[in-house]
Structure formats: C-alpha cells, structure tokens
C-alpha cells in the first residue's frame, strides 16, 4: 500500500527558485509543468528505499507547482509523482505510478535498476507505447537529496587564462588516474585522483592551461550495455544537469563536496576546469524509452516532438530524443544549470556536446537563437569559455564557423586536413594553409579571433594519435557489435603492419609521424586541444569508439617506457616554444598583406626553392612540401616584448622521401636557427644550430622543422 497523502505540514511556499531549496527554516519545493494536473512530493527514508509519505504541492503559479515543508532539512530524500493525461498521440505521457527525479536536483542517492516497471507503457503490449503501465517504479529508481550548497572556498580564484594562451587537455575523470602508480589506490579514478599533485604536475608540464572533463553530470548506464557486462563509460547519457556523478567520488554521498575540492586544487595550480556538457538529449530515449524524469513531468514541453505526430520524437541527436531549447522553461533550466556550475561549483567553461542542437529553433540552426543570445548577454556566462561541438545529425546540422561571436568551436576540418596531409593525401596544401593560419576562411568574421578555432587531431571519439599511425582499420570487436560501430574513415595509416610491431623502421616512422602531428598542433594558430595520453603514445588497441570500455582499453597506462618518455619530452619542448614565441598564438588573424609600418608581410608560404608559392603550387595535388613563414614584426602597434617580433619558419614535408629546401632570405636576417627537427632525437640535436641564409637543408621524408631568424642588432635611435 502506498503511504497516505499528508497536507497538514506544507504551506504554499514560492514558485522560485525551481528545485529543492534549503532556506534555513525548511525546504521550498518547486517543479515546472505546463500540462500536469497535480504533483505529489514523495519523501523517503535515509536509504532512499522506503517511501514514507506523499505530500501534494498545494500551489500552482505560472506553471510551477510549489510548496514549503518546514520540517525538511538538508539530507532529505525525495522525488515526485506527477498526474496528468496519458495521451501519447497528443505528446503527454503522465503516469503517477512512475517515480520521477527533480530536474533541479543537486544530489542523488542510489542507482537505477533497469526493470520493465520504469516504463510508462507496458512492454510487450500490442498497443506498444499507447498502453498504460500501472506498476510502481520507485523501488528501481535513484532518488534526490536536498543539499545545503554551503562550501568554504577560501581564497579560490578562477585562473582566467586568456584565450590566446589557452591549451585544452581532454580527459576522463576516472580514466586518467585509474592506473596511475603515484595516486593512492583509494583515490584512483576519482575527483581526488585528478587533483593529485603528481597528476597536476604532469599536466602543467605540457603547457596545458585548461582541463576539459568528459561528462560528469549525473548520468545513467544503458540497459543494453549492462546486459553485455559493460557501462556507459564516456557519460553522454545525462539525466541530471545540476548534480555531479557519484561514481567518481571516493564516498558517493559526498560527490558534491569532492568535486569542489578537485576544482579548488586545480585552480590553485593555475588550471581551469572545463566541463563537457550534454544538454542536447537525455537518458529517457524515444517513445519506447523509460519514464524517469522529464518525460513524466511534461513531455510536450521538455522534448521536440514531430509537429503532426506528437507521439514521436525529433531525433536530431541520434539518441532518440532532442531537448526543446525553444521552450522558455527548458531554456531557463539549461542556463540555470550553467550559472550554477559557474557560480556555485566554480568551473571555468563548457564544451557543448552536439552544440548545433542548442542553437536550433523550429526552422533549424540560428546563430541568433534564444540559447545563444541568453548565454552571450548573461554577465556570468559571457565571462567563461564557451565551446561548441558545431554539428548534429539533423538537417543543416554541420555549422563549423557559424556560431555567434564569443564562442569557440571544435574544428574537425583542422583534424581531417592535418591528418590527411601527414598521411600523404593529394591536394591538401591549400586547405592546410588555411588550417595552420587559424582557419580564417571559417572564423574571420564579426570580430572573431583565431582562438575561436579549437584545433585537435584526436579526441575521446576516434583513434588516439598512436593508433592513427598503427592501424589502417578500426578494431572495435570488444564493443560486442561485430565491429560495425565507430567511424570507418579515420585517415590513418599503419606503415606496413596492422597493429604493434617489432620492426624498427616502421616504429621510427610511426613515432616521427606522432611528433609531426603534435608539432603541427602546438605550432598552429588557434587553440590547441591535446587528448590525454597522446603525449606518451597511449593506445586503445585500435578501438575508435571506446564509449563502453571501462577497462585498460580506455584507462591511461602511465608505464611509458622509452617511447613514452621521448614523446613527453618532445611535447614539453613544443609547449616551451609556443610559450616563448607569441607569434605562434597571435590574437588576430595573420594575412599575406604587406605591412607598411614594418615593411614586411606577416604571413608567407614558401616552396622548397625558398620562393613564395603561387596559385599553381597551391592547386598542384602533389604539393606535399611547403613552409609557413611568420614575421612577428608585422604588428599594428603595442608594446614589444621578447619573442613578439620573432620570425619563424616552419617546414613540413609529407613526402616519404627527402626534399632539398632552400632557407630563404629575409630583411635584417643573418642566419636561421634550428629549433626543431622531428627527424632528430632530442639527445642528438645540436642546441639551436645555425644555418646560413640560402643554405640548402635536407628535409627528411615525413618530417617537420622549425627555425627562427637571427637578425642584426638594431641601432638605438
């Protein structure tokens, strides 16, 4: 028997703020639903297993049900039952037999146990989701916990890294430390593990400024994965946008405070915290999915439904449903969530999964959408880093370069072009020129800057850098889908053997190609993003879709061996070069225009003869060796600092054979100083060896070089 409904202790309370708010005198409960007829607050014992009583929220104001419970306190366990029409064909799926999580819950208790009772319809019924299921789902559901958000932050300050100096490091909270030998065992795979001083020291050594975390919002494991003995490792299956995932806390009930402690320690080391957030869909799936929260609270408001068949969901995400950011209350929930993580949890920015979804209106993508306007005008959100994954699978979903000013975007054109160039594809020269110069063809409009292009060569989704040079084909057999999942177009090459080999020549080429790609990434205009572990040659054994691999396939192996040590040292050299020469991270787009004040061109492209490339060179599909000449003297104005007026020559040879390259003449130049040659092991490289103007340098096949121009000392005026 369900507990009796009790209304004697509840008063009307307030409709704002939404969620469960501890006031010091009790807890105010407020839940939005435009179409419900009644909302019951369900209170549970401390374990969340026994429902103690149900209290009908007494007031309904501006589509918000609300009530104040004076004897509720932080730690109170609760959830909701929402009454209303069960009319799937009209878009309504209310079912009070299904316990529902508060969209604004700050903390959760327990785990979801998949069962047919979680579904609003009767699975197996002839009418499918048009049927109505009367089983109670409470015993299978996690619950919400009232939280007192008070936390002593002390002297915590956001690092506020300028965009021009930003380098992202994409990682997974668990995966980065699960196998780390210097992290205490009880901290491995947790928020505390990521905050370990040895882990932070390594991240800092790479020049990284901002740690980008795969999703840590409260999320669920898919039932089909659990049936196969797997879990949703990446976490792109959110159900609560205000609560940190319990699974990454040493003590799950204290995830709230442990996350904050991690942020404080990263901030103390000068590192920003960027969250990968999934506001485009939820874990409830399509019309055949479970009723866990939004679907049972107000399905027609929270999700985009087919206009003429509201039983079905618009699926621009590929996950079954699409969150309806066109609804003002749903937009409010997302922006409230963002502000909460900035204001209360002190995070420094967000990477928006399938960001195009968030900027969709009923007629399609709009870079003046309500969501983008809300973020851009909000003084709190406009002051943090906002990064879009600028695509989805819906009509017109690919929008790289089209987000509004103030946003940065993942640039997959950079990824594919640089991969294609180094693997030896034809006709990549012209596109490579654009990508290395900050992708001005995509981003140089409306006052946007080169940093708007987030350059990356590998990310969580796809091959690691090591696997790009080790496998021709994906190897996702461990996922249990007969290797059908994941991308097949990886722009990779194994150089003669599929997988690891003992062949020294193949291994030498592979390691040099990794160095080539790392160097290209760090020396390009734009904002670099490094995938955790690529700095020491991490492998996923050819798996390019390790979303369900919570094991050694995904966890970073910190036993680097000699190859890993060499790559880490090389990456650290690249970070030092990017820091030393600001011309590599200019705040404005460089052009090939002659700069009258300095008498030089800021950007030139050269062919092996040392002469400037012409249209025929750019159009030649066989152009695989070219050089970028950056002249830092081409500045409009401003204070000159060391390195700002440096002239740098980067030569890239993607041919498999050596090319003779003539080092060009340059105004005031006396010699070229070699800073980098990916063909030379660090211990064998002469410290900044000098070469005469006009020297013919033998550029090894598949290698990259960087020179700086040594100039005559200018006479003081």
Question: What contacts 146, CB < 8 A, 6 or more positions away?
Answer: 20, 22, 27, 72, 73, 74, 75, 76, 77, 78, 106, 107
What is the CB neighbour count within 10 angstroms for residue 140?
20
Active-site pick, 284, 316, 389, 431: 389
- The set of residues, in sequence order, having a beta carbon less than 8 Å from that of 166 and lying 6+ positions away, is 209, 210, 272, 385, 451, 527
Catalytic site residue 111?
A: no
Q: Decide if pLDDT at 5 tops 80.
A: no
DSSP state of 227: H
Question: How far apart (Å, rounded) are the C-alpha atoms in residues 104 and 699?
Answer: 59
Query: Mean pLDDT across the stretch 395-422?
Result: 97
At how many degrees (to 10) do helices 412-423 and 429-436 cross?
130
Answer yes or no: are the C-beta atoms of 329 and 323 closer than 8 Å.
no
Domain regions of the chain by residue span: 19-145, 588-711
pTM of the predicted model as reported, rounded to 2 decimal places: 0.95
Q: Distance between CA atoms of 526 and 467, rounded to whole angstroms? A: 25
pLDDT-wise least confident of 9-23, 172-186, 703-717: 703-717
Q: What are the Cα distances from residue 208, in Å, to 465, 535, 539?
A: 17, 11, 21
**Contact between residue 247 and residue 359 where contact means Cβ atoms under 8 Å apart:** no
Q: Mapped to the 3 state alphabet, what secondary structure does 475-541 carry?
A: CCHHHCCCCCCCCCCCCCCCCCCCCCCCCHHHHHHHHHHHHHHHHHHHHCECEEEEECCHHHCCCCC
Q: Kindly report the CA angle at 182 between 180 and 184, in degrees rounded to 5?
A: 90
Q: How much is the pLDDT for 716? A: 46
Terminal Cα-to-Cα distance of the chain (whole angstroms)? 93
Same fold, 19-145 and 588-711: yes
What was the pLDDT predicted at 428? 97
Whether the per-residue pLDDT at 320 is higher than 90: the answer is yes
388: β partners? 352, 409
Tens of pLDDT, residue by residue over 86-145, are: 999 999 999 999 999 999 999 999 999 999 999 999 999 999 999 999 999 999 999 999
CA nearest 595: which of 523, 670, 667, 693? 667
What CATH code is assigned to 588-711? Answer: 2.60.40.1180
Query: Are the C-beta atoms of residues 480 and 222 closer than 8 Å to each other?
Result: no
- For the question of residue 170 being annotated catalytic, the response is no
* Upper half-sphere CA count for residue 401 (Cβ side, 13 Å): 13
DSSP character string of 20-78: EEE-SS-EEEEEE-SS-SEEEEEEE-TTS-SEEEEEE--EEETTEEEEEETT--TT-EE
Residue 21: CB partners within 8 Å, gap ≥ 6? 27, 28, 30
| Cα separation, 220 vs 112, whole angstroms | 7
Could you tell me the two tokens for 676? 């980098």
Asked if pLDDT for residue 7 goes beyond 70, the answer is no
Query: Domain 19-145 is of which CATH architecture?
Result: Sandwich (2.60)
Average pLDDT of every residue of the chain: 94
- Over pLDDT 70: what percentage of the chain? 95
pLDDT at 613 over 70: yes
* Mean pLDDT across 453-473: 98
Residue 428 and residue 436 in contact, taking contact as beta carbons nearer than 8 Å: no
pLDDT greater than 80 at residue 426 = yes
Q: State pLDDT tens for residues 27-44.
A: 999 999 999 999 999 999
- How far apart are the C-alpha atoms of 19 and 112, rounded to whole Å? 21
User: What average pLDDT does the segment 235-243 reach?
Assistant: 98
Angle, helices 328-343/370-377, rounded to nearest 10 degrees: 30
- Among 133, 222, 353, 444, which one carries the catalytic annotation? 353
């Amino acid at each position: 028997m369900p507990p009796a409904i009790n209304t004697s202790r509840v008063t009307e309370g307030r409709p704002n703020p939404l969620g469960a708010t501890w006031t010091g005198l009790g807890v105010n409960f407020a839940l939005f639903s435009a179409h419900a007829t009644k909302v019951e607050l369900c209170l549970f014992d401390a374990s969340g297993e026994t429902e103690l009583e149900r209290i009908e929220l007494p007031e309904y104001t501006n589509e918000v049900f609300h009530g104040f419970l004076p004897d509720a306190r932080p730690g109170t366990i609760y959830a909701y039952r929402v009454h209303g029409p069960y009319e799937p064909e009209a878009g309504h799926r209310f079912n009070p037999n299904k316990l529902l999580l508060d969209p604004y819950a700050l903390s959760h208790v327990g785990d979801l146990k998949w069962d047919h009772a979680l579904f609003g319809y009767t699975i197996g019924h002839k009418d499918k989701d048009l049927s109505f299921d009367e089983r109670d789902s409470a015993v299978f559901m996690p619950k919400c916990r009232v939280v007192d958000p008070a936390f002593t932050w002390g002297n915590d300050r956001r690092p506020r890294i300028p965009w021009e100096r930003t380098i992202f490091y994409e990682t997974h909270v668990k995966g980065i430390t699960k196998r780390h030998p210097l992290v205490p065992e009880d901290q491995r795979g947790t928020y505390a593990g990521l905050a370990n001083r040895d882990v932070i020291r390594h991240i800092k050594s790479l020049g990284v400024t901002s740690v980008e975390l795969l999703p840590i919002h409260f999320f669920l494991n898919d039932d089909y994965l659990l049936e196969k003995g797997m879990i949703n490792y990446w976490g792109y299956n959110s159900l609560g946008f205000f609560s940190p995932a319990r699974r990454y806390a040493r003590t799950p009930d204290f995830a709230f405070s442990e996350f904050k402690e991690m942020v404080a320690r990263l901030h103390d080391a000068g590192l920003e915290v960027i969250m990968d957030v999934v506001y485009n869909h939820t874990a409830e799936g399509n019309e055949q999915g479970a009723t866990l929260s939004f679907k049972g609270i107000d399905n027609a408001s929270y999700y985009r439904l087919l206009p003429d068949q509201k039983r079905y969901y618009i699926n621009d995400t590929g996950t079954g449903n699409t969150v309806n950011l066109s609804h003002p209350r749903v937009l409010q929930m997302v922006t409230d969530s963002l502000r909460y993580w900035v204001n209360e949890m002190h995070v420094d920015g967000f990477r928006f999964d399938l960001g195009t979804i968030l900027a969709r209106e009923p007629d399609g993508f709009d870079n003046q959408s309500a969501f983008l306007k809300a973020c851009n005008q909000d003084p709190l959100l406009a002051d943090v880093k906002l990064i879009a994954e600028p695509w989805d699978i819906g009509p017109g979903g690919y929008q790289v370069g089209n987000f509004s000013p103030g946003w940065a975007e993942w640039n997959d054109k950079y990824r594919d072009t640089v991969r294609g160039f180094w693997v030896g594809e034809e006709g990549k020269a012209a596109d490579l020129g654009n990508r290395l110069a900050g992708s001005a063809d995509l981003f140089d409009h409306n006052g946007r800057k080169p940093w708007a292009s987030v350059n990356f060569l590998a990310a969580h989704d796809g091959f690691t850098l090591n696997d790009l040079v080790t496998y021709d084909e994906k190897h996702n057999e461990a996922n249990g889908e007969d290797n059908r999942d994941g991308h097949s177009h990886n722009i990779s090459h194994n150089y003669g053997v599929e997988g690891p080999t003992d062949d020294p020549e193949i291994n030498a080429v592979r390691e040099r190609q990794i160095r080539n790609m790392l160097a290209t990434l760090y020396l390009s205009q734009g904002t670099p993003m490094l995938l955790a572990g690529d700095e020491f040659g991490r492998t996923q054994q050819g798996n390019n879709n390790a979303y369900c691999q919570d094991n050694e396939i995904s966890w970073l192996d910190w036993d680097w061996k000699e190859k890993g040590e060499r790559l880490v040292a090389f990456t650290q050299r690249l970070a030092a070069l990017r820091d030393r020469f600001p011309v590599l991270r200019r705040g404005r787009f460089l052009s090939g225009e002659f700069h009258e004040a300095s008498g030089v061109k800021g950007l030139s492209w050269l062919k092996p003869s040392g002469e400037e490339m012409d249209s025929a060179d750019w159009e030649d599909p066989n152009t695989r060796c070219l050089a970028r000449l950056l002249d830092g003297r081409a500045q409009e104005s401003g204070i000159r600092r060391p390195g700002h007026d440096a002239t740098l020559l980067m030569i890239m040879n993607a041919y498999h054979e050596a090319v003779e390259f003539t080092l060009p003449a340059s105004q005031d130049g006396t010699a070229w100083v070699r800073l980098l040659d990916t063909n030379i092991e660090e211990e064998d490289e002469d410290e900044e060896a000098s070469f005469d103007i006009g020297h013919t340098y033998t550029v090894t096949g598949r290698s990259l070089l960087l020179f700086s121009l040594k100039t005559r000392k200018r006479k003081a005026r």
